[in-house]
Amino acid sequence: MDGNSTPTSIVTIDDLTNSQIEDVLDLAAEIDRDRDAFYGVASRRIMASLFLEPSTRTRGSFESAMNRLGGRTITTTDARSSSMAKGESLADTVRIWSGYADLLVIRHPWEGAARLAAEYSDVPVINAGDGGHEHPTQTLLDLYTLRNEYKTLEGLRIAICGDLKNSRTVHSLVYALIRFGAEIIFVPAQGLELPDHVRNKMETVYDRRIERVDPGALQALYGADLGEAENAAKVDALYITPSQPHLRAMYEEGAKIEIQLQDGRPLAIYVTRQQVERGSDLSEESGAARAYPRINASTMSGSDFSKSIIMHPLPRVDELSPDMDSDHRSKYFVQARNGVPVRMALISLILGLKPWGARSMAQPSSATAGQVIPQTDYIRCATPDCVTQKEAQNARAEFTFFRQPVVRFVCAYCEREVKPGYFARPRGAVYYPIDQFLYPSWDASDSLFFTDVNDAEALGLRPALIAARAEPLAVEVTR
Binding positions for ligand CP, rule: CB under 6 A = 55-58, 129, 135, 138, 313-315
Give whichever of 93 and 167 is closer to ligand CP, judged by the CB atom: 167
- Nearest distance in Å: CB 392, ligand CP: 28
Q: Residue 216: which of 189, 239, 195, 240 has the closest Cα?
A: 239
- Nearest distance in Å: CB 133, ligand CP: 13
User: Under a CB-based contact definition with an 8 Å cutoff, are residues 295 and 269 in contact?
Assistant: yes
How many whole angstroms separate alpha carbon 137 and alpha carbon 12? 9
How many whole angstroms separate alpha carbon 180 and alpha carbon 170? 15
Give whichever of 51 and 305 is closer to ligand CP, judged by the CB atom: 51
- Nearest distance in Å: CB 5, ligand CP: 28
How many whole angstroms separate alpha carbon 403 and alpha carbon 337? 43
DSSP annotation string for 352-401: TSSPPPHHHHHSPPPP--SEEES--TT-----TTBHHHHSTTTS---EEE
Q: Which residues contact 149 (CB under 8 A, 6 or more apart)?
A: 268, 309, 331
Give whichever of 58 and 121 is closer to ligand CP, judged by the CB atom: 58
Give whichever of 138 and 219 is closer to ligand CP, judged by the CB atom: 138
CB-based contacts of 471-476 (< 8 A; 24+ apart in sequence): 472/436, 473/432, 473/436, 473/438, 474/436, 474/438, 476/439
- Nearest distance in Å: CB 132, ligand CP: 13
| Residue number closest to ligand CP, CB atom | 58
- CA 54 vs. chain centroid, Å, equals 19
How many whole angstroms separate alpha carbon 243 and alpha carbon 249? 10
Give whichever of 133 and 135 is closer to ligand CP, judged by the CB atom: 135
Give whichever of 57 and 199 is closer to ligand CP, judged by the CB atom: 57
Give whichever of 25 and 410 is closer to ligand CP, judged by the CB atom: 25
- Nearest distance in Å: CB 136, ligand CP: 11
The HSE-up count of residue 76 (CA atoms within 13 Å, CB side) is: 24
The DSSP 8-state label assigned to residue 79 in this structure reads G
- Nearest distance in Å: CB 60, ligand CP: 8
Give whichever of 55 and 82 is closer to ligand CP, judged by the CB atom: 55
- Nearest distance in Å: CB 427, ligand CP: 51
- Rounded alpha-carbon distances, angstroms, from residue 260 to 66, 138, 267, 466: 44, 29, 11, 50
SS3 340: helix
Q: Residue 147: which of 23, 16, 271 has the closest Cα?
A: 23
- For 355-381, letters b (16+ CB in 10 Å) and e give ebbeebeebebbeeebeebeebebbbb
DSSP annotation string for 256-271: -EE----SS---EEEE
Q: Identify the helix (H) or strand (E) that includes residue 210.
A: strand 208-214
Q: Which residues contact 87 (CB under 8 A, 6 or more apart)?
A: none
Give whichever of 163 and 455 is closer to ligand CP, judged by the CB atom: 163
Give whichever of 129 and 370 is closer to ligand CP, judged by the CB atom: 129
